[in-house]
Amino acid sequence: MTFPRTELLFPPRLIPDLKDLRGREWRKLIEYLTPLPETHPDTLAFCLMMIRLNACLGCVSGSYRFMRGCEICSQQTIARYQGSDEELIKLFSWAKRDLERYAEGQTDDLMATSAAAPEPELAPDEDEIEE
């Protein structure tokens, strides 16, 4: 069995693929991030946000999410996110702040900060809705 190109953490190469899934503010964020190098702090922060939203740390080889691939998983996560674009941008800002704190060596409160972040609200898949 072959799988589509998959990674275990959200790859920056997929950022442009998320552009048309939300509103204007989201599109502006993606357009800003797309030309940045993978090592740019904002690219890294966006990837951290997506890793959190997608629950990438729980994705394992052989799982349904893994077999579908990062691209589909990420697109579905963003498309189904029930919060506003502003809330997604706030999550991006939190990820930026967490990376800045980490770079400064302030790691003691990062877990507490991550725990305080709201859980993503996702709309159910059409195939998950029971009639």
pLDDT at residue 123, rounded to an integer: 54
Is residue 84 situated within a structural domain? yes
Smallest CA-to-CA distance from 16 within 30, 6, 4 is with 30
Nearest in space to 74 (alpha carbons), one of 5, 18, 36, 4: 18
pLDDT at 125: 53
Q: Output the pLDDT for position 7.
A: 73
Is 128 part of a structural domain of the chain?
no
Q: pTM for the full model?
A: 0.78
**What would the pLDDT profile of 66-109 be if each residue is shown by its tens digit?**
888 899 999 999 999 999 999 999 999 999 999 999 888 876 66
Answer yes or no: is 110 within a domain.
Answer: no
Q: Do the domain assignments include residue 5?
A: no
What pLDDT shows up at residue 4? 55
Q: Supply the pLDDT for residue 66.
A: 84
State the total domains in the chain: 1
124 in a structural domain:
no
pLDDT at 119: 54
Q: What is the pLDDT of residues 21-51, one digit of tens each?
A: 999 999 999 999 999 999 999 999 999 999 9
- Residue 117 located in a structural domain: no
Question: In b/e form, how buried is each residue of 43-67, taking b as 16+ CB within 10 angstroms?
Answer: bbbbbbbbbbbbebeebeeeeebbe
* Mean pLDDT, rounded, for 111-120: 53
Whether 117 shows a pLDDT value over 90: the answer reads: no
| Residue at 120 is within a domain | no
Domain range for 68: 12-105
Residue with tokens 């509103």: 23
